[in-house]
């Protein structure tokens, strides 16, 4: 009747989306102010003024036919040049406009990249915990997912475990730093170590291993953390970027793929990316949002709010007895559940109107993800609920 795999994926939404929908329903029932929804990575800070200004100016000044018309499938050439120049300037690496491919956001960047480099039966390493949709995206290509747990003390990659997991069939590894769901930022040592390991294994097996760097959170770092730029360390890197989080535009779907100019047969990889975009039905990224990009490169939403939230939430929760690694980036806190089954813990949290995402689908059971891209006021008001929840376990 239909494709049962697709039906399954549609009937059983991701845990995150499921909770988001539950939250919408619950808010309608008891009032939005009474539900502490920490489910979704939907930024609470508005886009910087420059975004709406750029959009309004484009609508006012540009000829409507050219503004809203098709661009080349890979994106407008001027926009691609602006992105390549910006990367070269800020990261000090060579970048080539003709190796940039504009997409409708990070998910598209990933499905296109994976379709471009994978074949049926290939293996893809995911560093766990990982964003659950990675599994959906990778498995759709017919590839096999190989999860490798990070070091739970730091959520840095466990290089020995990665080495043990690489086989002759390993064709890609997805790296997400700053990380969803842990907030960990890969240290320069980890990044260098991973790059060296992959280069060694490429040589050993005589095969390319694609490092797919999923970087929607690149700009969201706090304190003195910096995010190593992987194309500077490893040749066969594809950077999947999205403006969703840095510019608070998650619903608008705009991002890009950058193929490192140092990649093996970079133009063949780029052609495969163009082919995958075509076969999956992307045509071109939304034109208005493409033309916005050169005007807003380097801008971010006011991320100081997330930094405030991070400290507030971490300090309070650890005081109440929760365990977590202090995050350096993104807007997630990954907290150990107070009972072995994170799903049961999340159900109990719902009794306090706390919507937390259980970590099982992240490939790392026993934790919950708390998205703190909410108002500081929501966090303040939620703290008694977190406290009561902790106490309910301590009493038992």
Nearest to 355 by CA among 38, 13, 21: 38
Restricting to residues 67-106, which ones interact with a copy of itself according to CB under 8 A?
67-73, 104-105
Return the closest-CA partner of residue 36 out of 387, 389, 385, 393: 385
Of residues 117-176, which lie at the interface with a copy of itself (CB under 8 A)? 117-119, 133, 136-137, 140-141
Q: In DSSP terms, which residues pair with 127 in a beta bridge?
A: 148
Site string for a copy of itself, 335-354 (x = CB under 8 A): --------------------
Q: Please pick, from the candidates 87, 108, 324, 370, the single residue that binds a copy of itself as defined by CB under 8 A.
A: 108
- Supply the minimum distance, in Å, between the C-beta of residue 396 and a copy of itself: 37
Binder among 35, 51, 87, 148 for a copy of itself (CB under 8 A) = 51
Q: For residues 304 and 301, give the distance between their C-alpha atoms in angstroms, rounded to a whole number.
A: 9
Nearer to a copy of itself, 9 or 149 (CB): 9
Nearest CB to a copy of itself, comparing residues 56 and 318: 56
Q: Does 246 bind a copy of itself (CB under 8 A)?
A: no
Q: Tell me whether residue 160 or residue 271 sits nearer to a copy of itself (CB atom).
A: 271
- Of the candidate residues 84, 198, 221, 287, the single one contacting a copy of itself (CB under 8 A): 287
The answer to whether the CB of 160 falls within 8 A of the CB of 197 is no
Among 264, 302, 339, 347, binds a copy of itself (CB under 8 A): 264
Closest Cα to residue 258, out of 63, 30, 91, 18?
91
Q: Which of 189, 196, 265, 391 binds a copy of itself (CB under 8 A)?
A: 265
The counts of H helices and E strands in the chain are 14, 12
Least separation in angstroms between CB 252 and a copy of itself: 5
Cross-strand partners of 118: none
* One character per residue 25-44, x = contact with a copy of itself (rule: CB under 8 A): ---------------x-xxx
Nearest CA to 255 among 239, 242, 266, 270?
A: 242
Find out whether 290 and 74 touch, Cβ atoms under 8 Å: no
DSSP at 361: G
Site for a copy of itself in 2-21 (CB under 8 A): 2-3, 5-11, 13-14, 17, 20-21
Question: Could you say which residues in the range 178-217 bind a copy of itself, by CB under 8 A?
Answer: 208
Angle between helices 287-296 and 77-91 (to 10 degrees): 30
Sign of torsion over alpha carbons 75, 78, 79, 83: positive
């Amino acid at each position: 009747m239909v494709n049962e795999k697709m039906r399954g994926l549609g009937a059983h939404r991701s845990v995150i989306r499921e909770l988001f929908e539950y939250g919408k329903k619950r808010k309608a029932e008891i009032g939005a102010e009474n539900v502490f929804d920490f489910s979704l990575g939907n930024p609470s800070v508005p886009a910087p003024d420059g975004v709406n200004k750029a959009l309004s100016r484009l609508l006012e000044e540009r000829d409507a036919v050219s503004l809203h018309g098709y661009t080349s499938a890979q994106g407008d050439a001027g926009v691609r040049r602006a992105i390549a120049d910006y990367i070269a300037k800020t990261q000090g690496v060579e970048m080539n406009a003709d190796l940039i491919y504009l997409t409708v956001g990070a998910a598209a960047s990933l499905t296109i990249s994976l379709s471009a480099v994978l074949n049926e039966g290939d293996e893809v390493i995911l560093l766990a915990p990982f964003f659950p949709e990675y599994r959906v995206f990778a498995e759709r290509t017919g590839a096999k997912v190989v999860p490798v747990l990070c070091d739970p003390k730091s959520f840095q990659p466990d290089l020995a475990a990665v080495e043990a997991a690489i086989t002759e069939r390993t064709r890609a590894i997805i790296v997400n730093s700053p990380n969803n769901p842990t907030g960990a930022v890969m240290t320069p040592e980890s990044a260098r170590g991973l790059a060296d390991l992959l280069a060694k294994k490429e040589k050993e097996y005589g095969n390319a291993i694609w490092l797919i760097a999923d970087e929607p959170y690149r700009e969201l770092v706090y304190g003195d953390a910096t995010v190593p730029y992987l194309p500077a360390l490893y040749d066969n890197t594809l950077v999947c970027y999205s403006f969703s989080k840095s510019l608070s535009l998650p619903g608008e779907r705009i991002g890009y793929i950058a193929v490192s100019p140092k990649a093996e047969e970079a133009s063949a990889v780029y052609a495969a990316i163009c082919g995958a975009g075509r076969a999956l039905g992307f045509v071109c990224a939304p034109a208005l949002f493409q033309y916005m990009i050169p005007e807003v490169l380097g801008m971010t939403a006011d991320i100081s709010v997330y930094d405030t939230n991070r400290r507030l939430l971490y300090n309070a929760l650890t005081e109440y007895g929760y365990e977590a690694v202090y995050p350096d980036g993104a807007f997630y806190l990954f907290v150990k559940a107070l009972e072995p089954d994170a799903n049961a813990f999340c159900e109990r949290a719902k009794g306090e109107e706390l919507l937390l995402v259980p970590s099982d689908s992240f490939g790392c059971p026993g934790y919950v993800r708390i998205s703190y891209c909410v108002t500081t006021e929501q966090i303040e008001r939620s703290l008694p609920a977190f406290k009561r929840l902790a106490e309910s376990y301590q009493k038992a």
